[in-house]
C-alpha cells in the first residue's frame, strides 16, 4: 500500500521548479522594482498556499505545527519559500539579507525594512523627482510614462500615494512643446481621462509624428535622387 500520509500531504509549493517563471523581476538594492516584486511574490505565495510563511495572518491562519512530522514539513516549506526569495534578488541585496538560521518571514521583513526605512525622507526625495520629471529627458513617450508610473508606485509604497488625477496632470505638465495639442486636449476634457488612456493618446500622437518623419525623409530622399539624376543628365548633354 502507498504511504497515505506522504501521498495526501504533497504541497503545491513543492511543484514549483523555477520561481523565475512566476516572479519575473529581479530585485536589487539600487532599483525601483520593490512594489512590483512584492506584488508578484505575494500573489505566487497565495496561489501556492504559503503566504503565511512571509506575512503573519490577521485572522486565524493555518494551525501551528504540533507533531514532529508537521514541524519538519513546515521547516521544509519555509526553506522552499526562503529559497524563492534568494533566487529573485540580486547578489548585492542577497549579501544584506542572508543570516544564520533565517526564516522566510524574517528575510521578507528585512527586505521590507531595507526599502521602507526612513519613509519620510524617501517620500520627500521621490516627491521632488516626481514633480520635476519631464518628457524632454526621455527617449520616448513610453519611457516617460513608465518613469512617472514607477515613481507613483514608489510613493504609494512609502505611504504617500499619488491619485490617478494627479498622475495625469503631472504627465501633461511635463510634455514637450510638440505634444502641446494633445496635452491641451487631455487637460480641457470634461472628465480627465485615466492615466492609461492619456498614455495611449500620447503614444498615438508619437506614432503620428514618426509617420510624418518617415514620409518627409522619403520625399527628401526622392527629391535628392531626382536632383542627382537631373545633374547627371545635364552633364551628359553638355558632353
Which position has the higher pLDDT, 182 or 226? 182
- 238 domain-assigned: no
What mean pLDDT is predicted for residues 108-130?
A: 89
Is residue 99 situated within a structural domain?
Answer: yes
Do 112 and 123 belong to one domain?
A: no
* DSSP for residue 193: P
Q: Among the three residues 116, 137, 163, which one is the final residue of a domain in this structure?
A: 116
Residue 235 lies in a domain: no
Task: Mark residue 49 as left, alpha or beta (left: phi above 0; alpha: psi -120 to 50; beta: remaining).
Answer: left
Is residue 34 within 8 Å of 115, Cβ to Cβ?
yes
- Residue-wise pLDDT tens digits, 82-102: 999 999 999 999 999 998 889
Which of these three, 94, 116, 138, is where a domain ends? 116
Distance CA 93, CA 90 (A): 5
Does residue 184 lie in a domain region?
yes
For the cut 60, the answer to whether the pLDDT of residue 7 exceeds it is no
pLDDT reported for residue 2: 42
Q: Which grid cell sits at 4?
A: 497515505
Q: Assess whether 84 and 29 both reside in one domain.
A: yes
Query: What is the structure's pLDDT at 238?
Result: 56
Phi and psi, residue 8, nearest 5°: -90, -15
Do 39 and 93 sit in the same domain of this protein? Answer: yes
**Does residue 147 sit in the same domain as residue 193?**
yes
Residue 54 has pLDDT above 70, yes or no: yes
Q: Which pairs with CB-CB distance under 8 Å and at least 24 residues apart come from 123-131? A: 123/155, 123/158, 123/159, 123/160, 126/151, 126/154, 126/155, 126/158, 126/160, 127/155, 127/160, 130/155, 130/162, 130/170, 131/170
What's the CA gap between 106 and 17, in Å, rounded? Answer: 24
Residue 234 has pLDDT above 60, yes or no: no
Q: Are residues 62 and 98 in the same domain?
A: yes
Residue range of the domain that includes 80: 4-116
**30 pLDDT above the threshold of 80:** no
Helices (H), 98-194: 104-116, 119-131, 141-157, 164-173, 180-187
Model confidence pLDDT, tens digit, residues 125-162? 999 999 999 999 999 999 999 999 999 988 988 889 99
> Does residue 29 sit in the same domain as residue 129?
no
Confidence of residue 230 (pLDDT cuts 50, 70, 90): low
Amino acid at each position: 500500500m502507498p504511504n497515505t500520509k506522504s501521498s495526501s500531504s504533497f504541497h503545491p509549493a513543492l511543484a514549483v521548479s523555477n520561481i523565475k517563471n512566476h516572479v519575473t523581476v529581479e530585485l536589487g538594492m539600487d532599483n525601483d522594482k520593490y512594489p512590483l516584486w512584492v506584488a508578484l511574490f505575494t500573489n505566487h505565495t497565495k496561489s501556492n498556499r504559503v503566504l503565511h510563511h512571509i506575512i503573519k495572518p490577521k485572522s486565524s491562519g493555518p494551525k501551528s505545527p504540533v507533531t514532529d512530522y508537521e514541524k519538519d514539513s513546515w521547516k521544509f516549506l519555509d526553506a522552499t519559500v526562503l529559497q524563492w526569495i534568494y533566487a529573485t534578488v540580486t547578489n548585492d541585496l542577497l549579501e544584506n539579507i542572508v543570516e544564520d538560521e533565517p526564516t522566510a518571514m524574517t528575510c521578507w521583513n528585512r527586505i521590507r525594512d531595507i526599502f521602507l526605512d526612513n519613509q519620510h525622507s524617501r517620500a520627500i526625495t521621490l516627491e521632488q523627482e516626481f514633480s520635476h520629471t519631464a518628457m524632454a529627458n526621455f527617449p520616448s513617450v513610453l519611457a516617460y510614462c513608465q518613469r512617472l508610473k514607477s515613481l507613483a508606485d514608489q510613493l504609494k509604497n512609502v505611504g504617500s500615494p499619488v491619485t490617478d488625477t494627479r498622475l495625469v496632470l503631472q504627465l501633461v505638465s511635463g510634455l514637450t512643446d510638440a505634444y502641446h495639442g494633445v496635452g491641451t486636449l487631455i487637460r480641457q476634457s470634461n472628465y480627465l481621462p485615466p492615466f492609461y488612456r492619456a498614455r495611449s493618446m500620447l503614444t498615438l500622437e508619437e506614432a503620428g509624428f514618426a509617420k510624418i518623419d518617415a514620409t518627409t525623409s522619403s520625399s527628401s530622399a526622392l527629391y535628392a535622387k531626382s536632383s542627382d539624376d537631373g545633374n547627371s543628365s545635364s552633364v551628359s548633354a553638355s558632353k
